[in-house]
Amino acid sequence: MTYLEAIREALRSEMRRDPRVFVLGEDIGVHGGAFGITKGFLDEFGPWRVIDAPLSEAANVGAGIGAAVMGMRPVVELQFADFVTDAFTQVVNMAATFHWRTGCPLPLVLRMPYGGDVKGGPFHSQCKEAWFVHTPGLKVVAPATAGDAKGLLLAAIRDPNPVLYFEHKHLYRYRREEVPDGEHVTPIGRAHVAREGTALSVISYGWMLHKCLAAADAAARDGIAAEVLDLRSLLPLDRDAILGTVRKTGKALIVHEATRTAGVGAEVAALIAEEAFESLDGPVVRLASEDTPVPHSPVLEAAFQPQVEEIAGAIRALAAY
């Protein structure tokens, strides 16, 4: 399957399995969604479970919260993650605090298409996951593979409390991968070693994971065996996996597409400094996008975010430290 098809498969299978699951979002019914993920859903499930919502992220997320309070399991699609700003109060003040305030569950999933390399410019290419990693009461996941796209979405829909599911637009049709049939749930809060190695640890997620794997392959031709860890879950982080790989290799390079300052990489670096300092044999290095809005020009966007050659150079430099 492609990454996109895996998301569609997870949604369809959960809607067939559990009548409480429904989808809501802009243009997801007749049109099948901006990226075609819910194409055909309206014919199969009908307008009460495939709801074409108005152009109001605040209203749509608020409706999802209300439905979850009443025992439903809504999956709300935000056409682009950038526009979650219009629903910020609903997400961070209402959904995130609900269980803490009431003791009751709030099974809400927000599907958040995010990220660049799609020539979308500053309003359609942002990576804003760090806003929500800073918000207690939420879970935040960011699959990098088709298998995890399916497995993490199943886990998110079945979770009793809010999950923000960041799906990278560049990965939708990036390639085809083997995806397990049937029941395939990826636990939230578990990282995955995508490539074994001993020289240093490269820690990443989402689209950048694939660039890191390509960079590790390039470094391997120079005899450098880099281990690559796919975080998959950003809140909660898999602390044991992060500390385990760093204690194994003694060096850490953290790569993410979001802008550098106060990104997820800063939290990972702080964790390593606090808990694995005595295992380090070099500085903890971060590689991220520039602290600017996302450029619209393809040339500038390529300069803005980490590229394979840059990551490979950072691997070589850290290995030689």
Catalytic positions = 124
Q: What number of other Cβ atoms are within 10 A of residue 131's Cβ?
A: 17
Which residue, 160, 98, 107, is CA-closest to 135? 98
Distance CA 116, CA 25 (A): 22
Helices 239-249, 264-275: axis angle to 10 degrees equals 60
**Cβ(220)–Cβ(184) below 8 Å:** no
**Cβ(22)–Cβ(15) below 8 Å:** yes
Distance CA 203, CA 300 (A): 25
**Cβ(312)–Cβ(247) below 8 Å:** no
**Cβ(230)–Cβ(261) below 8 Å:** no
Q: Taking the mean position of all CA atoms in its chain, how far away is CA 254?
A: 16
